[in-house]
Amino acid sequence: MSDSSILACAGYLPLLRFDRGIARKDLRWSGLGAGGTGLRAVAGWDEDALTMAVEAARGLGAVASSRITFATTSAPFIDRSQAGMVAEALGLPPSLSTIDSAGSRRAGTAALVRALDSRATELIAAGEKRLAQPGSAHHLAWGDGAAAVLVGQGPGLARLLGQATVNVDLLDVVTTTARGLPYAAEDRFVRDEAVEAVYVPAIRQALSAAGLTGAAVTCAILPEPVSGTYRALARPCGLACPNLAEEIAAKAGDLGAALPLFGLTLALERASTGDVILLAGFGNGADVLLLEVTAPQISRTATDALMQGAPLTSYSRFLSLTGALALDWGPRAEVNQKVSASTLARHGRAMHGFIGGRDAAGNVQFPQTPVPVRPDATGPEPMQPVRLADEPAHLLSVTADRLNFTPDPPFVFGLVQFDNGARVAMELCDTETAPAVGAALRMRFRIKTIDRQRQFPTYFWKAAPVSRPPLNAEKP
């Protein structure tokens, strides 16, 4: 076993929370959605697995990793290196080793197992925004979100005590590329098989590898394919601790490949040194890791993400945001927004990394231009790259536009003034109501535009309020 450990971790959830009870009420006529309780985190129209993974990774602070893994089962691209885009969005060099881990909800834990077994410093960013059909259990049970973990040499937050993997082609839920939506097996069958054929053997092997009994485990993060799974396996495995995955599922939803890493972040935020965490990934088998907490996690990204947000109270808006309802937005939505590969080749890195320039006199601007915007500039000047993604800024002017098309009106945009002098016309996000002139802002990596004819998203940054409102999880 290598000396690698968990060096840092962070979680991210989108702003909106949908009370599943709203769907239950709306679907009462149909008899569907009966199991809906708790809250579901709902991504903005301009968020996907990639953008949320980037936001989670930003929660790690400055990292110096040599490898990046992007883990998801809901990748926006089948043939495009999204790990490479994560690197661009984080302003990391283009020379990093990058890989996209997909094909199973274990994409996150599988990457973590391999990273802990290597001597490299690796950033694993997992994000998930999965489509499901309204009326299905998964449409309400799943949630959107992301988490990121940095693995590397030396002491960190947690070290690996033991690990086991069991591969079983159990189709509790399966999504084919041809159908694009999940298809679920019977709950009772899934629970029995998940417990007996997958989890119990995997957990026992991991405990054995770590030289521990279940009683030593202080916290579990064990994704449940159906509720009651953990309750059924706890006794045979000797586990008596709470399962954080259940809490996350109730407050945000099953985050798929990102759930274990989000749960790990939450567990480390609550843990004390010496605690033992059982971390599991589930999907056509299971990965089980036993980790010893070696230092307290200072930041509270997962805790904050669960406690902050805004209620989404409309079922039809929920359907629209989850891709389940195609509204007729009228002719104003027909604008051609095709982007050519050559334009992206020239400008993509500056857009994804939000890289402006500092001119010869020190003024910062975005985007870079041959002749600087500085009034006394007399001709072309060389510019030094300046990343704006992490710069503080405030709002100079703003409006909530209800005329031009946006998939989730209104379209809030304005002029943003950065403290370092740069000024950029930007779209705003994470705003249920437009902030006031002068409001402090932070930057978020988002989808800029979706070319609706070719279903091609472009990515840029949007300005968001610095903090989110507290969310009363009991009464959304």
Partner 1 sequence: MASGIKDKVVILGMGCSRFGERWDMASDMLMVEAVEEALADAGIRRDQIGAAWLGSALDDVNVGNSAIPLATALRLPPIPVTRVENMCATGTEALRAAVYAVAAGAEDVALAVGVEKLKDTGFGGLPIRTKGSVNDLWMPYGSAPGTFAQLAGAYAARHGLNGADLKRAMAHVSWKSHQNGALAEKAHLRKPVDMDTILKAPMVADPLGLFDCCGVSDGAAAAIVCTPDMARALGASDLVAVKSVQVCASNGWELQYGEWDGSYMRNTRIAAARAYDEAGITAADIGLSEVHDCFSITELVTMEDLGFSNEGRALFDVLDGRYDRAGAQPSQIDGGLKCFGHPVGASGLRMAYEVYTQLKGRAGARQLGNLEFGLTHNLGGQPSNSVAAVSILGRL
> Applying CB under 8 A, which of residues 42, 125, 398, 471 lies at the interface with partner 1?
398
Cα dihedral 257→151→77→451 (10° resolution): 100
Give the binding range for partner 1 (CB under 8 A) out of 177-185, 235-243, 306-314, 336-344.
336-344
CB of 396 to partner 1, least distance (A): 5
Instruction: Say how many C-beta atoms besides its own lie within 10 A of residue 168's C-beta.
Output: 15
Distance CA 182, CA 174 (A): 5
| Minimum CB distance to partner 1 smaller for 18 or for 366 | 366
Minimal distance in Å, beta carbon 313 to partner 1? 20
Q: For partner 1, which residue of 177, 272, 340, 378 counts as binding (CB under 8 A)?
A: 340
131 is an interface residue for partner 1 by CB under 8 A: no
Please enumerate in sequence order all residues whose Cβ is within 8 A of that of 302, keeping only pairs 6 or more positions apart, or say none.
10, 11, 147, 262, 265, 266, 269
Q: How is residue 261 written in tokens?
A: 């890493």
Q: Which is nearer to partner 1, 178 or 403 (CB)?
A: 403
The answer to whether 219 touches 278, Cβ cutoff 8 Å, is yes
Task: Candidates 272, 336, 378, 455: give the one binding partner 1 (CB under 8 A).
Answer: 336
How many chain residues bind partner 1 (CB under 8 A)?
Answer: 54
Token reading at 308: 């902050």
* Residue 383 in contact with partner 1, rule: CB under 8 A: no
Site for partner 1 in 420-459 (CB under 8 A): 421-427, 434, 436-438, 448-449, 458
Q: In what order do the strands lie in the sheet with 364-365?
A: 364-365, 355-358, 384-387
Q: Do residues 60 and 68 make contact, with C-beta atoms less than 8 angstroms apart?
A: no
Q: Of 94 and 331, which has the nearer Cβ to partner 1?
A: 331
Pick from 93, 94, 154, 330 the residue near partner 1 by CB under 8 A.
330
- The answer to whether the beta carbons of residues 245 and 224 sit under 8 Å apart is yes
Q: Tell me: does residue 345 bind partner 1 (CB under 8 A).
A: no
- Radius of gyration for the alpha carbons in the chain, expressed in angstroms and rounded: 23
Q: Which residues have a Cβ under 8 Å from the Cβ of 334 and sit 6 or more positions away?
A: none
Segment contacting partner 1 (CB under 8 A): 122-130, 236-244, 280-288, 414-422? 414-422
The footprint of partner 1 (CB under 8 A) covers 330-332, 335-337, 339-340, 343-344, 346-347, 351, 363, 365-367, 369, 373-375, 396-406, 410-411, 413-415, 417-418, 421-427, 434, 436-438, 448-449, 458, 460
